[in-house]
Every structure is written in structure tokens, then in C-alpha cells.
Chain A
Amino acid sequence: MAGSDAPAFADAPTLSDADAALVEDLLSGSHRALARVITKIENRTPGYRAIVSALHEHTGGADVIGVTGSPGAGKSTLVDKLAATYRDRGDTVGVIAVDPSSPYTGGAVLGDRIRMGSNVGDMDVFFRSMSARGQLGGLSTATADAVKALDAFGKDVVVLETVGAGQNEVDVVRTADTVAVLVQPGSGDDVQTLKAGILEIGDVFVVNKADMDGAQRTVAELEEMVHRREGGTTGRGAGHHGAASMASTGAGGSAAGHGDGHHGGDHADGSGHGESDGHADDSDESWTPEVLETVANSGEGVEALIETFDAHAAYLRESGEIETTERRRYAEEIRTLVRADVGALATAEIERRGGIDRLAERVRDRETDPYAVAEAIVGPIADCVDEVADGDRDE
């Protein structure tokens, strides 16, 4: 792809001395520097881009897990238990928890931290709350950059937690390697109405509060839905992942099966075994989303969930899917950045022409029309691009 005709890239943005020192501190393990870098990313403080640029080469070591679900599904509590369980096995953890902010005042109460009871005082769990500010380039850019900071810092696992409410949030979790969608039991209609976008991004579906009435039905409905999504090309729970997906129902099996059979015992329904057995085929299988049960309050099922995350990470690596995923993710990042930058140029141009209100008023007065205004604003930018392109060809 990168043939000789590919235009040369300008140098990365330059780091100021202070920011270079900050990056240095972050890489050598200063919590303060890490926190400050994330603040700069959030605030889009001038120079933050150079910082993220400098961090990029140090990233790629962390497993990034996205956790989403409707309000009250128990995301924060589950994330707390996940972090504690990762810590038990010696992994360091970063958490980015996104909360909505008021569209009126911009203010927010970021409440997820209250649930982090299992990890207070443990500095190796770095928990950061972020608000969904009305950001131009998209919330997902800011969270993805914050994840990079945690990754470069050396966290083994980074968990991104967000309410699965809108496109913004969906974009956020899409930047994770593995996405868990939390569902509450007894929310039959909820499952029906789960936003299409959210259903499609789930690698793992978690029925939390599995000790509540209706959990089994919700599990069944989700499995049915996952099945349908697979389009019947591979049987339910097909492939070697089928074994792992049985972990929560006590069937044991490969990767994720052991150690958790005890909890699933009371829920075991055993259905689906026959189907999955018939398709046991370990090679080149696509990932079939799994449906697990947890009780985040007590920590039940959390280990099995982590094993499933691991299984998914292993699947991504072994199948080569990770390369495709990363390429797609970076492509999306580039597109988002370019769109934001060009948008910013256009916004500046609008300001120079007296502001959007004045332009709108002129359109209202029939002095001009929206298309003409857009053309007048974007035209000069397009001309510049053409000029540069011509220049490149002449060289």
C-alpha cells in the first residue's frame, strides 16, 4: 500500500520541554504524571497531541476491555470486582469510567468511583473518571487517548466503562479489544430493544445480578439472540469457544471451563451441548459471543468472565483478527482526527466571516443560501489542498 507515490508525512507534533519531561515521568511510573497527561488529553490542552504521539510507540502491551450496559446493570460494581480479581493474579489495572455530563451546565457528578470499594488504597489500580463533555472530535478520541496513556504507563489491563446509551458511547467501547455488554435479568423487553449497535459490538454478554428472578430467561433470550446474529452459519456455541461459553452453566471444558463449575451448578440447563459438540472445530472459527452470568456484588462468576476475556484475547491473536481490528481502529482514529481538524478549520473560517449566527441570518434574509455559504467557506480550504497536491506532483 505504501508505495512510492504515498505522500511523505510531516514530522510528528513537537513536544515542549515541559511535556517531554511529563512523558518521561509517566513512562518511569509517576502516577501524578499519568494523571496529568490524562487531564491534558481531556482538556485538549495545547500540546496534548504531541504527548499522545510520543506515547504511541510505548503502547500495545495492554489488553483493553470495554464494559457497557444500561444504567443500573451493575457496571461499576462489576468493574470493581474485575479489577480486584486481575490484581489477585498480579496484573496491574487501569480503569476509565465515563459518565454523562449535563448538556446545560457541562457539570457532572462522576459517581463510579464510589463503587470501587475493593480497590481503595491500591495504587496499582489506576481509576479515572471522565465526563462526556460535548467534545468536537468525539468522546471516543479522548478515551482512546487516555487508554493509550494507561497502556504506555505499563498497565496490563485497561477497562473502559461506559453507559451504553448512544452512538458516542458505542464509539467509546469500540476502541476496546474485547467488549462485554451487561444486561439485567428480568429485562426481557430490554433484551428485545437492545440497540442494534450495542448487540453487534458485544464479544461477551454478561447477565449480571444472576441471582435475581428471571436471570435464566434473560440468558436464554440472549443466547437466542446471539444465535440469530450468527445467522445459523455456525451452530450455537460452535467451535472451541463453545466449551468456554459453557463455563457459566457448569459444563467445564477447555480454556475457561475449570474452577467455575461450582457456581453454575444451580443454573445448569445443559441445553445446547449437543449442538455445540457437533461443530467442535478448533481451526479458523470466528468468535461466537458468549453469554455468562455474574453476581458482581459477591464476585460470583467474575473469574470465569476474566477467563473468557483471556480466551477472546487469545482468539484475536491466534486468528490474526487482532491485526484487522487494530487496523480498522487506527483507520477510524485517523478519520476522526482529520474530520475534527478540518471541522476546526471550517469553524475558524465561519468565525472570520462574522460567525454562524450572522451567516444564518443572511440566509434567512434570502441574501444567500446554505449551499453558497458552505461553498464559500470550504472552497478556499479545498483550493489549498489542491495546491499542495499539485506541488507534490511537480517535485
Chain B
Amino acid sequence: MSAEQQERAVRCLVAKVGLDGHDRGAHVIARAFRDAGFEVVYSGLHRAPDDIVQAAVQEDVDVLGISILSGAHNTLVPKVIEGLKEYDAFDDTLILVGGIIPDEDEADLKELGVAEVFGPGTPMEETIEFIRNNVPERA
């Protein structure tokens, strides 16, 4: 007998990978996500791709938002995606990248499995709306 209702919350990991130390944006995003009713785990600064994978797997997040302002996205993002695949966590994690990403790189990242890239000036509502519409359904 379990008449109790489910309590599903969207879980997000806001991740800073690599050497850039600018996390104002990540903080603002984390807060906006919280206010949208999401549960947000923030990775802290200067994480290695493996650390991000560890956090994403253990926290079982629906959404992984990677903030990169250093320009190293072409090396870092593929490593994160590889790691997620290794733990069988790639398929049902919505991967977003935020930061300054050139258009040609954006296409490559999406090819790899990044769902969307949000550049500077993206309205917060747009990102939140995107997550609401695309968060993976889980069994």
C-alpha cells in the first residue's frame, strides 16, 4: 500500500571545469535555478573533468550545466562526456554549456551530445524554460 505521492524535483549540477576562476555567472545561475524550484549542486571552482563526472553520477542529476569561460571547452567537454558514458550516465543527463563559445565550436559540441549552448546575455528564463521542456524522462 503506497498511496503517497511522488516528490520529483529537477536536480542540476552547475559545474566549473578547468582553470578559469570566474564563477559569478555560475552563482547567478545556481540561484536562479533554485528559485525556479530546482535542486542545485554547485561543484566549486577549478574542477577536473573527472570530478565533474563523479559529482554528476553520484548526485544523479538530470541536468549538467558546465560553465567555461577559459576557451578550453573543446578539450574539457569531451572528457566530461566520455566519463559520463563510462558510468552509463550520458543518455539521461541533459548537458548544457554556458560561456563564450564560438559558433563553429557550438556545432561540434552539439554533435558530441551537448543539448544547448547558452552564451552571454541569455535571459535566465530562457535557460530555465529549456530545462523544463527537455529534462529527460526517467523510469
Is the beta-carbon distance between B7 and A44 smaller than 8 angstroms?
Answer: yes
In the bound complex, how far is the Cα of B91 from the Cα of A32, in angstroms?
12
CB of A344 within 8 A of chain B? Answer: yes
Is the beta-carbon distance between A32 and B33 smaller than 8 angstroms?
Answer: no
Chain B hits for A340, CB < 8 A: 4
CB of A110 within 8 A of chain B? Answer: yes
As a 0/1 sequence over residues 1 to 16 of chain B, the CB contacts with chain A under 8 angstroms (1 = contact) are 1111111110100000
Q: Which of A323-374 contact B (CB under 8 A)?
A: 340-341, 344-345, 347-348
A385 shortest CB reach to chain B, Å: 12
CB of A113 within 8 A of chain B? Answer: yes
CB of B76 within 8 A of chain A? Answer: no
- Point out the residue from B35, B38, B50, B59 that lies within 8 Å of A129, measured CB to CB: B59
Is the beta-carbon distance between A113 and B43 smaller than 8 angstroms?
Answer: yes
Given A46-B2, A340-B4: A107 and B34 interface contact (C-beta under 8 Å): yes
Is the beta-carbon distance between B51 and A121 smaller than 8 angstroms?
Answer: yes
Is the beta-carbon distance between A110 and B36 smaller than 8 angstroms?
Answer: no
CB of A258 within 8 A of chain B? Answer: no
CB of A31 within 8 A of chain B? Answer: yes
In the bound complex, how far is the Cα of B57 from the Cα of A127, in angstroms?
10
Is the beta-carbon distance between B5 and A44 smaller than 8 angstroms?
Answer: yes
Is the beta-carbon distance between B30 and A133 smaller than 8 angstroms?
Answer: no
In the bound complex, how far is the Cα of B4 from the Cα of A44, in angstroms?
8
Chain A hits for B89, CB < 8 A: 32
- Point out the residue from B31, B51, B58 that lies within 8 Å of A109, measured CB to CB: B31
CB of B25 within 8 A of chain A? Answer: no
In the bound complex, how far is the Cα of B34 from the Cα of A356, in angstroms?
29
Chain B hits for A46, CB < 8 A: 2, 6
In the bound complex, how far is the Cα of B2 from the Cα of A120, in angstroms?
38
Is the beta-carbon distance between A108 and B4 smaller than 8 angstroms?
Answer: no
Is the beta-carbon distance between A35 and B34 smaller than 8 angstroms?
Answer: no
Given A105-B37, A109-B30: A43 and B42 interface contact (C-beta under 8 Å): no
Given A32-B87, A137-B4: A38 and B43 interface contact (C-beta under 8 Å): no
Given A114-B44, A133-B9, A136-B4: A35 and B38 interface contact (C-beta under 8 Å): no
Chain A hits for B38, CB < 8 A: 107
As a 0/1 sequence over residues 241 to 283 of chain A, the CB contacts with chain B under 8 angstroms (1 = contact) are 0000000000000000000000000000000000000000000
Is the beta-carbon distance between B7 and A135 smaller than 8 angstroms?
Answer: yes
Chain A hits for B139, CB < 8 A: 18
Is the beta-carbon distance between A131 and B9 smaller than 8 angstroms?
Answer: yes
Is the beta-carbon distance between B54 and A107 smaller than 8 angstroms?
Answer: no
B17 shortest CB reach to chain A, Å: 12
Is the beta-carbon distance between B39 and A341 smaller than 8 angstroms?
Answer: no
CB of A128 within 8 A of chain B? Answer: yes
CB of A287 within 8 A of chain B? Answer: no
Given A39-B60, A49-B2, A344-B3: A31 and B87 interface contact (C-beta under 8 Å): yes
- Point out the residue from A38, A117, A123, A135 that lies within 8 Å of B44, measured CB to CB: A117
Chain A hits for B36, CB < 8 A: 105, 107
- Point out the residue from B7, B37, B42, B51 that lies within 8 Å of A42, measured CB to CB: B7
A347 shortest CB reach to chain B, Å: 8
In the bound complex, how far is the Cα of B54 from the Cα of A49, in angstroms?
27
As a 0/1 sequence over residues 190 to 219 of chain A, the CB contacts with chain B under 8 angstroms (1 = contact) are 000000000000000000000000000000
CB of B100 within 8 A of chain A? Answer: no
Given A35-B58, A109-B40, A121-B48: A43 and B6 interface contact (C-beta under 8 Å): yes
Is the beta-carbon distance between B58 and A341 smaller than 8 angstroms?
Answer: no
CB of B135 within 8 A of chain A? Answer: no
Is the beta-carbon distance between A113 and B4 smaller than 8 angstroms?
Answer: no
B6 shortest CB reach to chain A, Å: 5
Is the beta-carbon distance between B43 and A131 smaller than 8 angstroms?
Answer: no
CB of A309 within 8 A of chain B? Answer: no
Q: Which of A109-126 contact B (CB under 8 A)?
A: 109-111, 113-114, 117, 120-123, 126
Chain A hits for B42, CB < 8 A: 109-111, 113-114
CB of A168 within 8 A of chain B? Answer: no
Given A32-B89, A114-B42: A345 and B3 interface contact (C-beta under 8 Å): yes
Given A39-B11, A107-B37, A341-B2, 4 other A-B residues pairs in contact with their CB atoms under 8 A: A42-B9, A105-B37, A107-B34, A109-B34
Shortest Cβ-Cβ A-B pairs, 5 listed: A107-B34, A35-B60, A114-B44, A344-B3, A120-B51
Q: Footprint of B on A, CB under 8 Å?
A: 13, 18, 30-32, 35-36, 38-39, 42-46, 49, 101-102, 105-111, 113-114, 117, 120-123, 126-129, 131, 133-137, 340-341, 344-345, 347-348
Can you list 6 pairs linking A and B with CB atoms under 8 Å apart?
A31-B87, A107-B38, A107-B39, A110-B40, A111-B42, A133-B9
